[in-house]
Structure 1
Amino acid sequence: MISIHTRQLLSGLVLPVMVFLAVGVMLAGQIWSGRAIQLRMAAAREMGPVYQGLLFPQKQFYKWQLTLQGVGDLLAANARLRKENRQLAYWYGEAQTLRQENARLKAVLHWGAEDTRDYVSGWVVRDESGPYLRAVLLQVGDHQVQQGSLAVDAVGLVGRVSEVGAHVVRVLLIEDAASRIPVTLQNSGGDAMMIGDNTPYPRLMYYSQSLRPEEGEHIVTRGQTGLTGGVAVGHVHYLSPGQPVVVPDAALERLELVRIFDGDFMLEAPPSAGRVREKPPLLPDHHDGEAPSNWQNLRRFLPFSSLRNG
């Protein structure tokens, strides 16, 4: 055991000894500088792996910190892109809706010259088509509409105004059994009466026997007092010999925007490329000379029947 006095003596000699050694090392380095450099380099070489081992946790932690920071930035950027994508999808839908509505409005505006007619446009608010009634209700606001005025969509005749209310009007479609509209055959120039029968294809009746309707012949309304003339209606198709019907140009099964014309002036129809159906109608065909069956004749007068192929 070292005594207390010895420990006190040694503790008092530590500082002078350390100062003496430091001065000695400095003097030795100045005297033998080349040897000192070699010793320092050898010590650095031997201690290099130890330094690498001591710095490895710090370097790894720094890499993990950068990785976590990058992941956080990616999550924030992903959230921002998702929000922008939702906004773009919303505005894309709005743009598509406006584009379709603009196309429909432009198509309806193709009827004749603007300064030659009076018209009211309205959206279909209710479809009243059923087994015994083919009609739609239009929202026309405060506009005044006369009973009996013609209604058209973007391509052809829809029907006539049958009832007028405060803000809505009822349009009786051309396929309704109560519909009676005088028409003109464009090829032959003859007149006829288009009569609805609650089927998608109204009948042609009361035409001159010397000017029979031709297959595929186009039909327009006949201008007379209280009726706008020249409105495209459709084209002729024969269900069987002696039974001509009208295939409407208007899309009566999906009406949206309808225009109502007041007056008895002649109206210029839109170009035929946009209103004539390219595909043949889905109607039963009969060979020439073959008479239709009794059931086929009877179903023409049933209000709940429809004409379909096979």
Structure 2
Amino acid sequence: MRRPAGTLLTLATPIRAWAQRFAFLLLVGAAFALMLLGKADTVFVERARTAITDTVTPVLDVVSRPIASVAEVLREGQELAALRAQNAALRQENARLQHWQTVARRLQAENTALSQLLNVAPEPSTSYATGRVVADTGGAFVRSVLINAGRTMGVQKGQAALAGDGLAGRVAEVGQHSARVLLLTDINSRIPVVIADSRYRGILAGDNTSRPQLRYLPEEARPKPGERIVTSGHGGVFPPGLPVGRVATAEEGNVRISPFADWNRMEFLRVADYRMPGILMTDGATAPKPPGTPRPGMDRLPELPSASGEGGALAERALEAEAPRE
């Protein structure tokens, strides 16, 4: 005889109330039982877990497909918006580059015509040798690196060492297959530079900090943060116009430069031979003594190139500051 539905509900009500009251204890007991079963029969638990995984995986795959499709559409929409913005920026940059290309061609034509008119001697060709930085010999008193390029690749003492963005230093010692590069931040480094905009000349002096100091500026010079610093070409060591860095701080009597070269990510250095021996001696060269009474530590340096005015004085100051330390 079939029982009425009300009777089943009456019987199920106490069971449901009991289950709700002791649900936490039942779950703890079930978890404890599963732990014991897993320790007692690991093979059975592993097979059961594998079977459940095989059963649930297709269901999860079907459920995840719409979510993955929606995520893919959203990602493609974001990429499309980014591509549109990048395309607009590239179009503007292309227009600027075309303008400067036109200006550069016009200036190049004018420069060629004026050079021919004035019969200017052409600049010597430049050769390069690239070496990997294999060791950092820096310490508390030295800022230099070793590269795996030496005389066999045409590297000579005094040549400029260029990083990706600007001047990193100069070659101080050369071997057959290696060379030591004295960085701009070394305390022995003295480089004649010029402020690109105002054309005031000075000496970039390293002091073993990440930001070398700009010294011997004229009194009327007022450098501002952000101004570019390039080599001046005085002293005959480096050609004019090599990028060095930007003015970081310009306090009274203390101008600091932030070099373009990134010392923390410097893996390769390009040694450039501008064929400008200048005031630096190369290996095996004999240096004539300066006229007059020699200064201490200067009898092994060649005679200063004939430079008049502020450039010659700056180069001579650089030699006086550098010679006693080397």
Bin for the TM-score computed over the shorter chain: 0.3 to 0.5
Higher relative contact order, chain-length normalized (CA < 8 Å, sep 6+): 1
- Please report the TM-score for the alignment, with normalisation by the length of structure 1: 0.46
- Please report the TM-score for the alignment, with normalisation by the length of structure 2: 0.44
Indicate the structure (1 or 2) with the bigger Cα radius of gyration.
1
